Amino acid sequence: MKGVPILIAVALLVTSTSYGQQQQNGQQPNGAPPSESPIEPRPRDVPPGGRANTPAQNVVAVPVPVAPPRPNGPIQKSLVRITATEVAPDYRAPWNAGMLGRGVGAGFVIDGNRIMTNAHVVSNSRYLTVERDGDPNKYPAKVLFVAHDCDLALITVDSPNFYKNMLALKFGGIPELESTVSAYGYPIGGERMSVTTGIVSRIDFQLYTHSSIDQHLAIQISAQINPGNSGGPVMENAKVVGVAFQGYSGDVAQGVAYMVPTPVINRFLKDVSDGRYDGYVDLGITYGKLQNPAQRKFLGLKDDGRGVLVETVVAAGPCAKILQPGDVLLSIDNHPIASDGNVELEGERVEMPEVVERKFKRDNVKFDIWRDKKSTSGSVQLDTVPPYLMQSHKYDVRPRYVLYGGLLFQPLSLDLLEAYQPTDLRLRHFFDFYVIDQIYREHPDVIVLTNILPDPINTYLAPYRGGIVDSINGKKIHTMDELSQTLAEPADRLVIDLIGDGPPLVLDPKQVEGARERIKMRYNVVREQNLQEQPTTKAPDLQTKI
Amino acid sequence: MRSLFISVVFALVVTAGAAVKKEAGSPPNKDVKQKVLSLVRVNVTGQPYDYFRPWQKKAPVSKRALGAVLSKGRVLVTADLVTNQNYVELERAESGEKTAANVEVIDYEANLALLQPSEKNFLDGIAPLDIAGDTVVGDRLAAWQLEPTGALVATEGLVTTIQMTKYPVDVGQFLTYRISIPMQYRENSYTIPLVKNNKLAGLLLRYDPRSQLIDAIPAPIITHFLKEAEGEHYQGFPGVGFSFFPTRDPQLRKYAGQTGKPGGVYITNVEPNMPAMKAGMQVGDIVLAVGNHEIDQNGNYVDPLYGKIDFTNLISAHSYAGDVLPFQIQREGKPMELKVTLEHRDAKDYVSPPYALDEAPKYLVLGGLIFQELSRQYLKEWGPNWQREAPQRFVYLDHFQSELFPGEHRRIVILSQVLPANNTIGYDEFSYLTVLKVNGQEIKSLNDLAAAVKQPIEGGFIKIETEEDPKQIELEAKSIDAEAPNLQENYGIPSLQRLD
């Protein structure tokens, strides 16, 4: 087995000679060509003997190439390695702090003494350190802004020495298809900076898996990107053209990696320029193409290839005031909308939502509308559409829950589903159709009885697990706050009706009160409820105190 | 490939032979010699309908099985053997003589069917099997299979459990024997009779070769089926139309106002137009006894043969549609008796029928849009994991149909897919939509839809409204008619609709 990594290491050494001077350490394998004397001794070379139990122990460290020719300049003066200690909330025991984990990602210095990285590198972090090449120190860092919807974050280091000798990188535009780009980062396979190159394969809208509901422009590149590349810059001609952020694991597809392109990055930087991140706005509508001749004729439209059909208008979205299903959108901000949903922006055909992608909270958007064979127009102030958040991953929050008589009530969310993996058809329906069927109007929180901590007072209640709370003592329950208040009200008995045909769940509040301390003790429950998804760490001052 | 196949068959025959010797060596099975002739081979060619192309059938599949010869020249098999059959053939094991057969009676829910040979004298000389009704846990039953030579292989197994389980079409629960048995594969493992003292004790329902466990349709269900099959109109197993919940929880008993000793089940739902509701049953009632049998807190009664078993057995196995069954209940602490006249609920009486077998699916093709009625049969086209893989709204509508459409006589009409054609330009990505209205008229069946499309709205348009996006689809009536021949030609559709 040992032969294999050694051979790989040799191959790497050989290929990297093309960069110029090489530097060796004490672990040079037999048979490798002797090296030139090192130009710059590196303190972080793998020491003789290596670290126990690391797969890399037999791998000879690859020196960072230092001399030209390198098209992107001395990247190690901009690149940083970020180590995040994170605490992921435990949705199955939400009173606990959660699972402790550690992750390594990359970042790069930009203007204003800021470091850009991915949101997922710093999400749920409790402590962040930053290292740079050629410097033995670890610098504590703090988060300035996190954008979970586009997987970008800005962090900074307080230490005044840190930014000395660091170069802020500049951003470029959208690279051409087939042009060569290089990705820098700290992927698995070694400790030092890694460079991979590839070409730009595709420019398209993609799902950003960090939130798992947001779709933005993303650029697919053929450069190898692995865990640890996240947050690292992808460069072309000494300019950042993207931030590496996601890819497929090797068993799904190979050589498919994605980077956040500069239009998304620039929007993020502009959004935070006022000191807060507002996030992407959304129209809160669905629309369809209008390519069918009969349908166009029915709607009284000319055969001019223009207009899209409004299908669903989310009541909680900004367009609910001016649009209704069946409307035809003819133009957006005076850009004509083609019947396939495309508009022309700065000479390029893009999908209509791209117009909104470039806007910010409280910006306006204007539509020319065709309704009942008459033309009209309307303008709305853009905003986020909160119900969508239920279907997205959440970070840096404490899960909400209420524990009562050993019964654990939690609001339905993507994180909850992933924690419990329920197969219940009703739960799945409430989740899948929460926004599109506007379930949120009646159930702002879909309150699920997720678990029962066994105790003599609830010993027969196991069959109720997975039920969704409809009402308590005849009163409809819409939110976790209402649930908490209603459970606290004095009553002779509590009759909890769950949605569907099942029997009511009946509890005696006196018994529950009597069992309270017992359940808390037995299951080590520190708090019986949390109703606020308050941020856990984001006040930057807290960071340095840890 | 061919030589490999033959060697596999050969290997199986060898093991089979070994098994027979062993069985014959240990306790001699007296049944073997005498009862060889109580079995016939049943060869079936079936062809299920293709719900994704509802105008055609799938490729034919052949099955070889055994049938148990009963009195009056009838042959008993499982229903799933002869479901969607095109041709059924009986074959005498000892002579290889064959004749065509008809399916006389079939009950998909109980998974039983009776066959009759077209040649009246075909079964002459075969001693019919009687039914053994008294099997209990601990009895030994023999599974009967045939060697290619026609010789009998009898494998004995032990009845380990007698309980209520779901049968393949998943309508209610039926009594089931579970038998631990080291059974080997034979070429005709479809319907395998289980025999006790020369009498038919059960028919194979399913077999798990890993755990070597058989679930068998038990004699009481077979007897019920045969008894009803002798009448003029076969109705099927009866139901009452309620849902219930155990009353183990003292808080729930208190809530229901139950007095006296604990026991009975809590009624959580009473379906409209079904026997329980007609008899006056209400949600919150506690059913304490059915007939003369007391029901415990878990919903079990004490059966003289099986001990504690789910009380629904009293309804399905012991009663017939039309019987009046007294239910002792407690309502808010007061005892009452309800006389429930049992009825069979036909698959057609559901909003989304739980099964539709041996009948052609309805459909209507309109300019390339394919409309169908939602049924579980349709959803099962997605395979064994259909609950996960079929369109989720359809799965939800099917699963919660009694809650979503209480007491309604209707169907759910769906736009299942779109065939690209001149009329459907721009619509070809639509699929799995729920139809609400056509030309302003509410659609509660495919026939509603067929009638509605004949009345175009102003301008000669047909307007289809759906629950899901796109919400509205328009077609031009005259263009649909003009393009119809092309559509039929291009996609090989013999008829653009089937409505009955």
Where does the pLDDT of residue B20 fall: very low under 50, low under 70, confident under 90, or very high at 90 and above? very low
User: Concatenated DSSP letters for A329-341?
Assistant: EEEETTEEPBTTS
Residue type (1 letter), A117: T
First-to-last alpha carbon distance for chain B, in angstroms, is 45
In this predicted structure, the answer to whether residue A542 has a pLDDT above a threshold of 80 is no
The stretch A143-148 carries a mean pLDDT of 96
Res A492: pLDDT: 93
Instruction: Using a cut of 0.90, tell me whether the model's pTM lies above it.
Output: no
In this predicted structure, the answer to whether residue A210 has a pLDDT above a threshold of 60 is yes
Beta bridge partners, A203, equal A219
In this predicted structure, the answer to whether residue B349 has a pLDDT above a threshold of 60 is yes
Contact map slice: A 325-354 vs B, CB within 8 A: 325-326
A287 vs A329: CA distance, rounded Å: 9
Please report which helix (H) or strand (E) contains residue B376, including its range: helix B376-379
* Chain A residues whose beta carbon lies within 8 Å of the beta carbon of residue B473: 292, 295
CA A76 to chain centre: 26
Q: Where are the beta strands (DSSP E) in A423-491?
A: 447-452, 469-472, 475-476
In this predicted structure, the answer to whether residue B7 has a pLDDT above a threshold of 60 is no
Res A70: pLDDT: 65
Q: Tens digits of per-residue pLDDT, A98-112? A: 889 999 999 999 999
Res A133: pLDDT: 85
B414 vs B466: CA distance, rounded Å: 9
Lowest-confidence region among A68-77, A228-237, A248-257, A514-523: A68-77
B497 vs A293: CA distance, rounded Å: 25
Higher pLDDT, B177 or A189: B177
> Could you tell me if B408 and B443 are in contact, meaning their C-beta atoms sit under 8 angstroms apart?
no
In this complex, is the C-beta atom of A462 within 8 Å of any C-beta atom belonging to chain B?
Answer: no
Res B254: pLDDT: 94
In this predicted structure, the answer to whether residue B34 has a pLDDT above a threshold of 60 is no
Q: How many residues does chain A have?
A: 546
* Chain B residues whose beta carbon lies within 8 Å of the beta carbon of residue A508: 251
Res A160: pLDDT: 82
B425/A292 CB distance under 8 A: yes
Higher pLDDT, A14 or A546: A546
Q: What is the DSSP letter of A46?
A: P
Question: B393 vs A249, A428, B320, B410, B438, CA distance in Å?
Answer: 31, 10, 36, 17, 20
Res B365: pLDDT: 97
User: Concatenated DSSP letters for A190-210?
Assistant: -SS-EEEEEEEEEEEEEEETT
In 3D, which of A264, A249, A184 has the Cα closest to residue A218?
A264
Higher pLDDT, B4 or B412: B412
A205 vs A218: CA distance, rounded Å: 6
B229 vs B235: CA distance, rounded Å: 9
Residue type (1 letter), A294: A
Lowest-confidence region among A39-43, A205-209, B189-193: A39-43
Chain A residue whose CA is closest to B249: A460
User: Phi-psi region for residue B225, left (φ > 0), alpha (ψ -120 to 50) or beta?
Assistant: alpha
The mean of the pLDDT values for chain A is 85
* Chain B residues whose beta carbon lies within 8 Å of the beta carbon of residue A288: 469-470
Q: How many residues does chain B have?
A: 500
The stretch B217-240 carries a mean pLDDT of 95
A433/B243 CB distance under 8 A: no
Res A33: pLDDT: 36
> Could you tell me if B464 and B473 are in contact, meaning their C-beta atoms sit under 8 angstroms apart?
yes
Percent of chain A with pLDDT over 90: 73
Decide: helix, strand or coil at residue B251. helix
Q: Quick count: other Cβ atoms within 10 Å of Cβ B11? A: 10
Range B209-219 burial, b when 16+ CB lie within 10 A, else e? eeeebbbbbbb
Chain A residue whose CA is closest to B457: A298
Q: Which tokens is B104 given?
A: 């006389």
Residue located via tokens 């002579």: B95
B251/A508 CB distance under 8 A: yes
Judging by beta carbons within 10 Å of its beta carbon (0-12, 13-18, 19+), is residue A360 exposed, middle or buried? middle
Decide: helix, strand or coil at residue B92. strand
> Could you tell me if A360 and A271 are in contact, meaning their C-beta atoms sit under 8 angstroms apart?
yes
Angle at B177 between CA B174 and CA B179, to 5 degrees: 150
* Chain B residues whose beta carbon lies within 8 Å of the beta carbon of residue A502: 245, 268
In this predicted structure, the answer to whether residue A89 has a pLDDT above a threshold of 80 is yes
In this predicted structure, the answer to whether residue A525 has a pLDDT above a threshold of 60 is yes
C-alpha dihedral, A176 to A179 to A185 to A188, nearest 10°: 120
* Cross-chain CB nearest to A460 (options B249, B392, B459): B249
In this predicted structure, the answer to whether residue A58 has a pLDDT above a threshold of 60 is no
> Could you tell me if B275 and B241 are in contact, meaning their C-beta atoms sit under 8 angstroms apart?
yes
Q: Quick count: other Cβ atoms within 10 Å of Cβ A44? A: 14
| Residues 6+ positions from A70 with CB-CB distance below 8 Å | A19
Lowest-confidence region among A60-74, A439-453, B180-194: A60-74
Chain B residue whose CA is closest to A464: B245
* Cross-chain CB nearest to B476 (options A289, A294, A299): A294
Range A144-177 burial, b when 16+ CB lie within 10 A, else e? bbbbbbbbbbbbbbeeeebbeebeebebbeebee
> Could you tell me if A238 and A71 are in contact, meaning their C-beta atoms sit under 8 angstroms apart?
yes
In this complex, is the C-beta atom of A301 within 8 Å of any C-beta atom belonging to chain B?
Answer: no
In this predicted structure, the answer to whether residue A30 has a pLDDT above a threshold of 80 is no
| Residues 6+ positions from B459 with CB-CB distance below 8 Å | A297, A298
Higher pLDDT, A62 or B140: B140
B230 vs B309: CA distance, rounded Å: 28
Q: Tens digits of per-residue pLDDT, B293-302? A: 999 999 999 9
* Chain B residues whose beta carbon lies within 8 Å of the beta carbon of residue A506: 249, 251-252, 254-255
Residue type (1 letter), A357: E
* Cross-chain CB nearest to B426 (options A289, A325, A463): A289
Chain B contact probe: residue of A287, A289, A290, A292 with most B CBs at under 10 A: A292
Q: Tens digits of per-residue pLDDT, A433-466? A: 999 999 999 999 999 999 999 999 999 999 999 9
Contact residues of B toward A, CB < 8 A: 243, 245-246, 248-252, 254-255, 266, 268-269, 387, 392-393, 395-396, 399-400, 402-403, 423-427, 459, 461, 463, 468-476, 479
Lowest-confidence region among A36-40, A55-59, B102-106, B261-265: A36-40
Q: Which tokens is A308 given?
A: 């899209």
Res B93: pLDDT: 86
Where does the pLDDT of residue A536 fall: very low under 50, low under 70, confident under 90, or very high at 90 and above? low
In this complex, is the C-beta atom of A290 within 8 Å of any C-beta atom belonging to chain B?
Answer: yes
In 3D, which of A467, A520, A521 has the Cα closest to residue A497?
A467
In this predicted structure, the answer to whether residue A13 has a pLDDT above a threshold of 90 is no
Res A32: pLDDT: 36
How far is B402 from chain A, CA to nearest CA, in Å? Answer: 9
Q: Which tokens is A135 given?
A: 């410097």
> Could you tell me if B127 and B14 are in contact, meaning their C-beta atoms sit under 8 angstroms apart?
no
Decide: helix, strand or coil at residue B247. coil
Q: Tens digits of per-residue pLDDT, A256-303? A: 899 999 999 999 999 999 999 999 999 999 999 999 999 999 999 999
Chain A residue whose CA is closest to B467: A437
A297/B476 CB distance under 8 A: yes
Res A473: pLDDT: 96
B471/A326 CB distance under 8 A: yes
Residue located via tokens 């109580």: B38
Res A493: pLDDT: 94
Pairing of strands B199-208, B130-131: parallel
In this complex, is the C-beta atom of A288 within 8 Å of any C-beta atom belonging to chain B?
Answer: yes
Res B37: pLDDT: 66
In this predicted structure, the answer to whether residue A25 has a pLDDT above a threshold of 60 is no
Question: A233 vs A173, A518, B206, CA distance in Å?
Answer: 13, 54, 59
Res B464: pLDDT: 98
The mean of the pLDDT values for chain B is 90
Q: Tens digits of per-residue pLDDT, A470-509? A: 999 999 999 999 999 999 999 999 999 999 989 999 999 9
A316 vs A388: CA distance, rounded Å: 10
> Could you tell me if A112 and A145 are in contact, meaning their C-beta atoms sit under 8 angstroms apart?
no
A359 vs A337: CA distance, rounded Å: 17
Q: Which tokens is B92 given?
A: 């005498």
Q: Tens digits of per-residue pLDDT, B316-338? A: 999 999 999 999 999 999 999 99
In this complex, is the C-beta atom of A305 within 8 Å of any C-beta atom belonging to chain B?
Answer: no
In this predicted structure, the answer to whether residue A546 has a pLDDT above a threshold of 50 is no
In this predicted structure, the answer to whether residue B3 has a pLDDT above a threshold of 80 is no
Q: Known catalytic residues of A?
A: 120, 230
